[in-house]
Amino acid sequence: MSYLNLSENLVPLTISKLMKLKAEGQKITSLTAYDASFAALFDQMGIEVILVGDSLGNVIQGHSSTIPVSIQEMAYHTACVARGVKRAFIIGDLPFASYTSTAEAVKNSALLMQSGAQMVKMEGGAHLCEMVEVLTHHGIPVCGHLGLTPQSVNTLGGFKVQGKSADAAKKILEDALALEAAGAQLLVLEAIPSTLGAQITQALKIPTIGIGAGPDCSGQVLVMHDALGAFPGRKPKFVKDFLAPTGTIEKAITLYIEEVKSGAFPAPEHCFVAN
């Protein structure tokens, strides 16, 4: 069964609609996409948020991290995705070192918005608050990203679960509240204990989108290649292959939507626990 009401298929989703879904307790479905064809398919199947992720550095370009991805490449893929979408809400990633100053953040965010994004995503905590305020003032909606932040993989010492200790969890919660107060309207939580994902989601008015952050987030996101069993290398704990049990991409996406909406995904085996 598809959760998409076909009569609403051509009504574009907005951040207000996503806020309403959270308020009503309806889970938000999200996948990454990097081209018009997959974006159109996900849009038609009923995916509500399409993230044009800098994960393209891994799954499209073959890099070991997202760090080599440029703002020009992000703008190109954002434009490709936007051409395929009629309904879904599009978020574009600001890549590594593209927001080292407020002026750079405004310039590069404007480029993504002009390419078709409806919101930009940036990784980091309270130190970004002034930047978030300025972007919001300029009419650029912001999605924060806390927990495991892939652009900081060298600082973090690898792709490690974050927020496992009480002090680390407290810092992530404080960062989440600060970003919301600064004007962020959405928050991605990656690779944190499920209990922390639930705590942050309850504390915020804005929706949270989890990827390895437990079932209590306002919604879930996966890299499309992971959801379709095409992940290179070691499979992260929070990944589930929806293609293997279904046999077609369309059925896989339908199953993903159903399991996110019902709360069946992520299951305990996809989640992390605190120390």
Residues marked as catalytic: 190
What is the spatial distance between Cα 94 and Cα 189, in angstroms, rounded to a whole number?
16
Answer whether 170's CB lies under 8 Å from 180's CB. no
What is the spatial distance between Cα 1 and Cα 127, in angstroms, rounded to a whole number?
43
How far CA 151 is from CA of 90, 122, 132, 172, 189, in Å, comes to 20, 10, 18, 17, 14
> Is 123 assigned a ligand-binding role in the annotation?
yes
> Is 164 assigned a ligand-binding role in the annotation?
no
36-45 and 249-262 are packed helices; what angle lies between their axes, rounded to 10 degrees?
50
Answer whether 120's CB lies under 8 Å from 91's CB. yes
What is the spatial distance between Cα 146 and Cα 167, in angstroms, rounded to a whole number?
15
> Is 262 assigned a ligand-binding role in the annotation?
no
Interior angle at CA 207, CA 202 and CA 208, nearest 5: 75
> Is 55 assigned a ligand-binding role in the annotation?
yes
What is the spatial distance between Cα 190 and Cα 56, in angstroms, rounded to a whole number?
17
> Is 241 assigned a ligand-binding role in the annotation?
no
Torsion of CA 136, 139, 140, 146, to 10 degrees: 20
Q: Which residue has the tokens 């799954």?
A: 59
Answer whether 76's CB lies under 8 Å from 171's CB. no
Binding annotation for 3-methyl-2-oxobutanoate: 54-55, 93, 121
Binding annotation: 54-55, 93, 121, 123
Binding annotation for Mg(2+): 54, 93, 123
